[in-house]
Structure 1
Amino acid sequence: MERPLDCLNNLVHDDWLIGYDSRQFNQIAQELYLELTQLSAYGTPPKIILAEREPLRFLASFIAACAANCPVFLCNPDWGTQEWQQVFDLVHPDIVLGMGNGEWGTCTERLVPSVRVASRREVEVSRSMGNGHNNNSQCPIPNSIMIPTGGSSGQIKFSIHTWETLISSVQGFTEYFQLIQVNSLCVLPLYHVSGLMQFMRSFITGGKLAILPFKVLESGQILNIKQSEFFISLVPTQLQRLLQNPELTKWLSQFNTVLLGGAPAWNELLEKARFYRIRLAPTYGMTETASQIATLKPDDFLSGKISSGQILPHAKVTIRNQQGEILNSNQIGNITIHAQSLSLGYYPITRDNQADFQVDDLGFLDNQGHLNIVGRNSDKIITGGENIYPAEIESAIQATQMVADICVIGIPDKHWGQALTAIYIPKKSDISALKIQTLLKDKLSKFKIPKYWIPQQYLPRNSQGKINRQQLQQIATEFIQNPIT
């Protein structure tokens, strides 16, 4: 397996970054690698927070840190003070890269006044005196790569990966799609696993990587690439926005493959993509698995298949009941994953990489070996003794074509245990909950039609489209306590 420095040297003469200077990338990475290697001579490699806004510097810094065997924490430079406080309390970094003028340790006093990170010179002096790290929190795994994940709680966690786990994901991807090189157009954040893995696929395989902020793309500005030779990854809300623009819809339809993940896609959106012959590849994966472990190939999608596709070669999925017994095809149960790309835990606590990873999702494997997701254990709503999964209700409401966005939750109810509550964005101001309920009567059982309907101007989703359910609970509680009359 090629190491980061080997891959960097393999690309030294290639113009592989589209829209950026490939030689500058190589120069920054090589220079930073040498500096970090020198610092490591004074003790264990320094822990690095990487919060660089500029894509080229972010990627070059990431490769330099990996090559120098430095533990690196990928961070969102747009996090607020409270989030940064969480990060610094957890990590206690030696070095911060990014967000300043290029010098280490320049951004932290502005972001979190109570925290100060050692500068480059201070790290050198401390280590030359034999003091080692300037903090008392060591990384449990050398040369680890910490990728942020927060789920729906909003509490930042770091999933512990290594170069090896990320490479396993790349190998599974290339084998599944039978590729030697992977060309990607990345419109997702590079600190997020879905953005990082697009870079990794191109970097490892010697393919091309084009980077374009989604806001720029949405405005109609596109890069001069041959879409039929490229992959692009989107989350459902991004796909929805692009399909509202006829020119961008036509542009998107010319891609080799449009990977879709990050959050569940609703049926209306999938049907619209199929109508416009978008070569969509719905995926299933997460930060803990270094992106996708199941993907539906575009030809299967266009032929009408609805699933998350087959399991990629580097992974294995079993469906188990609550007793841990493996279920047969088409039986719904808990999804358990075993993959070479599995993370080693959540910083700073490690887990056995060989252990099975049971996720919160419920699903089944059909007779063709395709993975089908039906909901989440944690989202399950029990009302009047009936188990209800919000995904079914949300899909039915989306099909009415009266809402722009929808999320169904359960709120405490003294009579029913939980009451179904729909929090939605109406497509038009004159659309009422009664109109939607009327259309649902022939599609859903009576007990599956939400009791409460709460219109909103927007729903609290993150950049990957995942909903913040804690905020929705607050919205619902306030609405019911103070109903609009």
Structure 2
Amino acid sequence: MEKTLENFVQDASRQPLSNDWLICDDSHLFAQLTQQLYLELTQFSYYRGTPIKILLAERDPVRFLAGFLAASAARCPVFLCNPDWTKQEWQQVFDLVNPDLIWGLGTRNWGQDYSKLKNPIIPSPDSGLIMIPTGGSSGKIKFAIHTWQTLIASVRGFTEHFLINQVNSFCVLPLYHVSGLMQFMRSLTTGGKLVIRSFKEVEYPQVNSIESSIFFISLVPTQLQRLLQKPELTQWLSQFQTVLLGGGAAWNELFEKARYYNIRLSPTYGMTETASQIATLKPDEFLNGKENCTQILPHASIKIRNQQGEELNSNQIGNITIYSQALALGYYPNTWENQAYLQVDDLGFLDNKGYLHIVGRNSDKIITGGENVYPIEVESTIRATEMVVDICVIGIPDKLWGQAVTAIYIPKDSNTSDIEIRNLLKDKLSKFKIPKNWIPVQTLPRNSQGKINRQELQQIATKFLQTSLAD
């Protein structure tokens, strides 16, 4: 992992890794494309005097990874992008970035005529920066500013945590997302293998012919749930060395099912700003009964503070503050004043053994009648009734209560009434935590990582309640 970026590009051109290190369609083109793009970018940057600002929105995995590695090695600021963003979202990105070059979106600009690019007089301060998107599911798209060094720090923390030198990754998550990108980084920089498949592909067992016992696979809770619904896929999943689970809160029923089928699950906690996970439960601990906690990785540390900024003792709930070598530098185009730590919106506590427990998000907390309600607890209790397929709990403005706890859910049976579910909750939740409003829907608005769009949920709930009052 101590190689320079240029070393990786030079190695790629010589193909020092085994021919099957990258396992996906057209993987044999990776070395050639990487070297070609690197040479073009460095030559043009030399004559121009400043690096090229690149939007990378390539759908093809080989072209995406070749472009990412070449741009990073050539010290060109590269912005990782979702090809499926809406027109409005793309406009946000164009206005923010003002790119020199776009790779992807059907342009196929491999072998671009660089003479037509913009040529600003002042050299860009963004040289060598890697911008990873975040925040697109519920508001304005932002780019967390990373460097090769912050990403390598994350890889180092991962390998030290799992006590391994080589990471083999089976990737079914988007490469433009930090959860997909870091699987590439781990495999590339440790000399491991990288399998890239779409999630739709893995739902057909005949394509899963790899030796899964040496691989890590990363999933979000909704993906794990879908795989556990098919016996042949459950059996396949149980053969993996480790199944990393992140991207959103899981629920007890899912944990119990995974443990029943001996899935070597590793629940994780992390975010784009921390270059993926900073706390992870090891699979042996999960199989032995631990589930709602994670162990902090060696490259990071966490402190729990109250609203006044005072550090709290073990088992006291407060705001999570992260210290990590893998922290982003800020949100493009601005850097943070203090890059030593990151105060996040999540609430949690450290137990006596130093394990991190997540309680919920401060901004998601519902205050109803003066009482605090954390949606994660309510959602997990409702899921345990096995009467819903999916559930999200939010607070809706209410004149009497301040906020009314509201459940938006997909019933498992169309004949199931909310009264039946409420009756099952009476002995499990305090009365003020039981939702006052119940809104059945056919689907919940989630993105590809399983994260809920809470703004859209608020709109669904408001419209439903207004219609109910009108009736």
Structure 1 residue 17 corresponds to structure 2 residue 11: no
- Equivalent-residue separation in structure 2 for 1:332 and 1:151 (angstroms): 29
Deviation at residue 22 of structure 1 after TM alignment: 4.5
Structure 1 residue 189 corresponds to structure 2 residue 174: yes
- Equivalent-residue separation in structure 1 for 2:425 and 2:462 (angstroms): 24
Match of 1:172 among 157, 170, 188: 157
Question: What's the counterpart of residue 44 of structure 1?
Answer: 50
- SS of corresponding position for 1:425: strand
Question: What's the counterpart of residue 71 of structure 1?
Answer: 77
* Letter paired with 1:271: E
- Report if the CA contact (8 A) 1:96-1:105 is conserved: no
Runs of 4+ in 1 over 6 A off after TM superposition: none
Question: What's the counterpart of residue 7 of structure 1?
Answer: 8
- Equivalent-residue separation in structure 2 for 1:103 and 1:141 (angstroms): 22
Report 1:6-405 matches (<5 A): 6-10=7-11, 12-14=15-17, 15=19, 16-41=21-46, 42-103=48-109, 120-123=114-117, 127=119, 131-132=120-121, 140-150=125-135, 152-352=137-337, 354-405=339-390
Question: What's the counterpart of residue 109 of structure 1?
Answer: none
* Letter paired with 2:115: R
- Equivalent-residue separation in structure 2 for 1:456 and 1:62 (angstroms): 40
Deviation at residue 357 of structure 1 after TM alignment: 0.5
- Equivalent-residue separation in structure 1 for 2:233 and 2:9 (angstroms): 34
Structure 1 residue 436 corresponds to structure 2 residue 421: yes
Report 1:395-434 matches (<5 A): 395-434=380-419
- Equivalent-residue separation in structure 2 for 1:171 and 1:152 (angstroms): 29
- Equivalent-residue separation in structure 2 for 1:223 and 1:324 (angstroms): 49
Deviation at residue 21 of structure 1 after TM alignment: 4.7
Question: What's the counterpart of residue 111 of structure 1?
Answer: none
* TM-superposition CA deviations, 1:9-44 (whole Å, max 9, x none): 345232211134554201100000000011111121
* Letter paired with 1:28: L
- SS of corresponding position for 1:483: helix
Deviation at residue 46 of structure 1 after TM alignment: 0.7
- Report if the CA contact (8 A) 1:140-1:348 is conserved: no
Report 1:443-458 matches (<5 A): 443-458=428-443
- Report if the CA contact (8 A) 1:95-1:104 is conserved: no
* Letter paired with 1:43: G
- Report if the CA contact (8 A) 1:344-1:352 is conserved: no
Deviation at residue 225 of structure 1 after TM alignment: 1.3
Match of 1:461 among 434, 437, 446: 446
- Equivalent-residue separation in structure 2 for 1:151 and 1:302 (angstroms): 34
* TM-superposition CA deviations, 1:270-324 (whole Å, max 9, x none): 1111111100000000000000000000000000012332110110101111111
- Equivalent-residue separation in structure 1 for 2:177 and 2:88 (angstroms): 19
- Equivalent-residue separation in structure 2 for 1:186 and 1:450 (angstroms): 38
CA distance 1:410–1:140, change in 2 (3 Å): farther
- Equivalent-residue separation in structure 1 for 2:456 and 2:25 (angstroms): 39
- Equivalent-residue separation in structure 1 for 2:78 and 2:4 (angstroms): 16
- SS of corresponding position for 1:410: strand
* TM-superposition CA deviations, 1:86-145 (whole Å, max 9, x none): 110110000001132522699xxxxxxxxxxxx63302xx64xxx548xxxx85432100
- Report if the CA contact (8 A) 1:140-1:350 is conserved: no
* Sequence identity percentage: 69
CA distance 1:140–1:452, change in 2 (3 Å): farther
- Report if the CA contact (8 A) 1:48-1:71 is conserved: yes
Deviation at residue 6 of structure 1 after TM alignment: 1.1
CA distance 1:273–1:266, change in 2 (3 Å): same
Deviation at residue 220 of structure 1 after TM alignment: 3.3
- Once the two structures are overlaid, the 10-residue window that deviates more, 94-103 or 365-374, is 94-103
- Equivalent-residue separation in structure 2 for 1:105 and 1:23 (angstroms): 19
- Equivalent-residue separation in structure 2 for 1:415 and 1:335 (angstroms): 32
Deviation at residue 151 of structure 1 after TM alignment: 6.0
Question: What's the counterpart of residue 461 of structure 2?
Answer: 476
- Equivalent-residue separation in structure 2 for 1:456 and 1:319 (angstroms): 37
Question: What's the counterpart of residue 110 of structure 1?
Answer: none
Question: What's the counterpart of residue 112 of structure 1?
Answer: none
- Report if the CA contact (8 A) 1:290-1:342 is conserved: yes
- Equivalent-residue separation in structure 2 for 1:375 and 1:178 (angstroms): 30
TM-score (norm 2): 0.95
- SS of corresponding position for 1:207: coil
- Report if the CA contact (8 A) 1:404-1:424 is conserved: yes
- Equivalent-residue separation in structure 2 for 1:396 and 1:146 (angstroms): 38
